């Protein structure tokens, strides 16, 4: 990831931005056409003003009739220009926010297809920052670019054409001096891009740190880590201040530099024009027109220099979004095989090997055969691979070697969504989303009736506490569960699975957050739910898995013992020691 970000050039990012803008070709052409209309009419007005000035022939000799006609024409042109400007700005808004909408949609779609390994390695706040803050910064820069860049460039070329029509030598002198302004702006822009890139990266780091601090505030306070968190935030904040000041300082140099050069251009036009009037090469109205064009010519250079700074920031932010979009997606689904409508729940693993980090082996040559309807308990010390095995069964991670079969079909050939619909999963960590209680329960079965929802809630013993909530099943909660206790949140997750009742179940410490009395009721509900269904139960409390058909004892990624509760106790091996350590009292 880092190497990709470092190697991405400003030119590459700009080309990609142009590709996205190209989706709005009609609006682009309309914007350019309107910009041309605005510029041509704006540049034609000084000619009318010059002609009106030339109507003032001498003292007491003024052609008021002709001046009135010129004023009438000028008023009409200004009105048309204002209308064209308004339409052009509306079109530019459509292009800008259309492009940003497309980028955000693709970025969010990308997150849905990223492997979990990416999300595990990158802070949530940093990823969110790319989609929200970076996209906003990109929109601001792009809008300014559309608003001023097109009209600025057309104005520059337009004024040169009109100036050539009035006086060629003065126009040539202006063109000779102009490159100095462009060179200065380009030199500063290259320096600015690097600083804006560092600024956006540091801002993302700060967002990630703040997100982490807020999410884990209880832990920070419990362990007295407030001062450390403040020091960490201050360090990042100081770096952000440094990069922000440098980027703003460099970008602010552009405008004064170009203004200085543009001032020289204006003074030169004034001097040469005055001599031309004296020598009768141009009229006084012509000189007025040239001075007006001189301002018209230099103004876009000043505006473009300001736009360049904003574009540097916009391109830096766009580059970070493109980095996310170019991350490798999870391997695509192969639709060579489709699970039958009725899944029996037969599961087998053959010579499976997997590790999160290639240099650190976790699961090697793992073999397991589970018959339909069997209840398999998985126990072992922390880090032995219990949860990893669940991740592999659900294809949250793909195995490095070997094969996993469901009903004799290789899961690598089954679309992930189809595979995951066959499992009902309840983890120790609760999964809730912002919405109502009902919306959280029906995630796996959106068309469920109220009667089905209530029946599932009663089966999981969640109905009683839900009815006590202010709005019952329509009570809104956030992703953290709001005021619900950890046990109540877990009951909602259990209700969600009971509503779907898929052919296979995964229970990973599912009752660890529930009081003993409720746990007895839940275990009874689980027993009913698991009847005839293949079930995988991960547990640390061995009292909860004594009725399992088969208990797998894992250590260092391998099965070291397997059998039912009585058989494993009789062996007096690792399982017996674990059991005795929990019940030796």
Query: How confident is the model over 7-22, as pLDDT tens digits?
Result: 457 778 888 888 888 8
The DSSP code for 360 is B
Q: For residue 133, is pLDDT > 90?
A: no
Q: For residue 4, is pLDDT > 60?
A: no
Q: How far apart are CA 189 and CA 254, in angstroms?
A: 8
Q: How far apart are CA 33 and CA 39, in angstroms?
A: 10
Q: What is the pLDDT of residues 448-464, one digit of tens each?
A: 899 999 998 888 888 88
**Element housing 458 (H / E):** helix 450-459
CATH of domain 430-501: 3.40.50.300
- Residues ≥6 apart with Cβ < 8 Å to 312: 10, 141, 189, 192, 193, 196, 247, 251
- Residues ≥6 apart with Cβ < 8 Å to 92: 31, 143, 146, 147
Strands across the sheet containing 558-563 = 423-426, 504-508, 534-538, 375-379, 550-555, 558-563
**pLDDT at site 86:** 92
**pLDDT at site 79:** 92
Where do runs of H (alpha helix) occur along 216-283?
217-222, 226-278
- Strand runs labelled E in 503-563: 504-508, 534-538, 550-555, 558-563
Where do runs of H (alpha helix) occur along 114-225?
116-121, 124-129, 135-166, 168-215, 217-222
Q: How far apart are CA 97 and CA 107, in angstroms?
A: 15
- Residues ≥6 apart with Cβ < 8 Å to 529: 459, 497, 498, 501, 505
Phi, psi of 414 (to 5 degrees): -105, 130
Strands across the sheet containing 401-406 = 363-370, 347-354, 401-406, 409-410
**pLDDT at site 7:** 45
Rounded to the nearest integer, the mean pLDDT of the chain is 80
**Element housing 366 (H / E):** strand 363-370
pTM of the model: 0.66
3-class DSSP state for residue 556? coil
What percent of the residues of the chain are helix, what percent strand, and what percent coil, each to the nearest 5? 65, 10, 20
pLDDT tier, 226 (very low <50, low <70, confident <90, very high otherwise)? confident
Q: Output the 3-class SS for 114-136.
A: CCHHHHHHCCHHHHHHHHHHHHH
Class of domain 2-325: mainly alpha
Q: Which of 270, 294, 323 is nearest to 103 (CA)?
A: 323
Q: For residue 83, is pLDDT > 90?
A: yes
Whether 461 contacts 522, CB under 8 Å: yes
Q: For residue 59, is pLDDT > 90?
A: no
Domain spans of the chain, in order of start: 2-325, 430-501
Q: Which residues pair with 379 in a beta bridge?
A: 553
Whether 579 contacts 542, CB under 8 Å: yes
Whether 177 contacts 268, CB under 8 Å: yes
Q: What is the pLDDT of residues 140-164, one digit of tens each?
A: 888 777 777 777 777 778 777 877 7
Q: For residue 5, is pLDDT > 50?
A: no
Q: What is the pLDDT of residues 408-425, one digit of tens each?
A: 888 888 888 888 888 888
**pLDDT at site 87:** 92
**pLDDT at site 303:** 67
| Percentage of the chain modeled with pLDDT above 90 | 3
Domains 2-325 and 430-501 share a fold: no
């Amino acid at each position: 990831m880092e190497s990709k970000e470092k190697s991405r050039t400003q030119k590459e990012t700009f080309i990609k931005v142009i590709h996205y803008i190209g989706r709005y070709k009609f609006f682009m052409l309309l914007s350019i056409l309107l910009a041309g209309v605005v510029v041509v009419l704006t540049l034609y007005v000084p000619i009318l003003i010059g002609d009106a000035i030339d109507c003032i022939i001498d003292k007491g000799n003024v052609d008021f009739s002709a001046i009135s006609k010129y004023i009438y024409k000028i008023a009409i042109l200004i009105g048309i220009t204002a209308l064209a400007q308004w339409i052009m700005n509306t079109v530019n808004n459509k292009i800008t926010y259309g492009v940003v909408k497309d980028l955000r949609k693709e970025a969010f779609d990308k997150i849905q297809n990223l492997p979990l390994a990416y999300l595990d390695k990158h802070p949530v706040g940093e990823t969110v920052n790319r989609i929200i803050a970076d996209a906003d910064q990109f929109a601001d820069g792009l809008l300014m670019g559309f608003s001023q860049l097109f009209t600025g460039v057309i104005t520059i070329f337009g004024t040169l054409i009109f100036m050539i029509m009035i006086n060629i030598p003065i126009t040539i002198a202006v063109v000779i001096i102009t490159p100095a302004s462009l060179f200065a702006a380009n030199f500063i822009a290259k320096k600015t891009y690097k600083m804006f890139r560092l600024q956006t990266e540091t801002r993302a780091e700060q967002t990630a740190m703040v997100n982490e601090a807020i999410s884990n505030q209880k832990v920070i306070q419990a362990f007295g880590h407030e001062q450390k968190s403040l020091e960490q935030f201050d360090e990042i904040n100081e770096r952000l201040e440094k990069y922000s000041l440098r980027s703003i300082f460099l970008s602010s140099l552009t405008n004064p530099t170009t203004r200085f050069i543009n001032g020289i251009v204006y003074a030169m036009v004034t001097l040469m024009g005055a001599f031309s009037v004296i020598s009768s090469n141009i009229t006084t109205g012509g000189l007025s027109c040239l001075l007006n064009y001189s301002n018209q010519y230099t103004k876009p250079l000043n505006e473009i220099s300001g736009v360049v700074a904003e574009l540097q920031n916009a391109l830096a932010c766009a580059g970070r979004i493109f980095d996310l979009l170019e991350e490798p997606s999870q391997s695509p689904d192969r639709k060579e095989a489709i699970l039958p409508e009725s899944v029996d729940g037969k599961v087998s693993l053959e010579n499976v090997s997997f590790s999160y980090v290639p240099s650190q082996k976790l699961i090697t040559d793992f073999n397991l055969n589970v018959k339909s309807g069997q209840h398999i308990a998985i126990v072992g010390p922390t880090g032995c691979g219990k949860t990893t095995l669940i991740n592999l069964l659900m294809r949250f991670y793909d195995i490095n070697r070997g094969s996993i079969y469901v009903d004799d079909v290789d899961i690598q050939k089954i679309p992930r969504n189809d595979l995951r619909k066959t499992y009902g999963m309840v983890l120790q960590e609760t999964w809730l989303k912002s919405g109502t209680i009902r919306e959280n329960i029906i995630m796996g079965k959106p068309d469920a009736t109220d009667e089905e929802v209530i029946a599932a809630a009663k089966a999981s013993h969640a109905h009683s506490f839900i009815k006590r909530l202010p709005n019952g099943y329509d009570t809104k909660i956030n992703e953290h569960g709001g005021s619900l206790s950890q046990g109540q949140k877990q009951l909602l997750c259990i209700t969600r699975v009971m509503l779907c009742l898929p052919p296979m179940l995964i229970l990973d410490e599912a009752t660890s957050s529930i009081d003993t009395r409720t746990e007895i009721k839940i275990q009874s509900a689980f027993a009913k739910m698991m009847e005839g269904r293949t079930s995988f139960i991960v547990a640390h409390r061995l009292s909860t898995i004594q009725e399992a058909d088969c208990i797998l004892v894992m250590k260092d990624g391998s099965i070291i013992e397997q059998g039912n509760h009585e058989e494993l106790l009789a062996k007096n091996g690792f399982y017996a020691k674990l059991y005795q350590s929990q019940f030796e009292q």
